[in-house]
Amino acid sequence: MHSWWNVSLAAILGIAAIVAGITAWRGTVLNGHAVENFTLSTQSTNNANTMAQDAERSINTQRTLYLEYEQALNEGDAKRAAIAYSMMDSGTRSAIAWWREQPAGNRPPSPFSAANPAWPAPSSIIDARATLDESAEQLEYANEELAKSHTLELLAALLTITFLTGGLSGVFESPSAKRALVAASGGTLIVCLIALVFMW
């Protein structure tokens, strides 16, 4: 009887030790992934904000140059118009060229319209929004991994019950007490094993 209990207890405690080690390792890995995704999320947010600010600044600059260009043309100042046009980027020049080619009744009110396929600014804004969405996705992954890591820490704490009840079983001489403590150890171990599988 004692030999059977000793073997059972040794097996339970041995498996519990292995599970505890795996749980600690997996929790550390998830924690590292969470930190990495938090970092990537922050970096992506910063990149998205920078891209959005650059796009907005570029749009304002190009619009100002276009207004200066149109005003110079209307005033007959070819030199000032040429200077303003030369300061525009190639995307703005293409947008103006496309806009001028459209029939007056069908073209947008200005070259700086999303309906203008030659205007590159909308794509810059879309890229900034895509980067921001990527940041939100990375943040979600980080929160999920951090939650799993915390759950594994709880499992590691529960595994101490396995060691505690297993150790106490050697104190009592009563077979029923030993049976209850070993059963508690085994039950806790099974619960932790199942949880570990789901948390993987």
Report pLDDT for 106: 82
The pair of structure tokens assigned to 197 is 């599988």
Q: How many domains does the chain have?
A: 1
pTM above 0.75, yes or no: no
Domain hosting residue 144, numbered range? 2-199
Question: Of 146, 145, 151, 164, which Cα lies nearest the Cα of 192?
Answer: 151
Q: Give per-residue pLDDT as tens, 118-136.
A: 777 766 777 788 888 888 8
Give the pLDDT confidence score for residue 87 in this predicted structure: 92
The segments of the chain whose pLDDT lies below 50 read 1
Predicted pLDDT of residue 105: 81
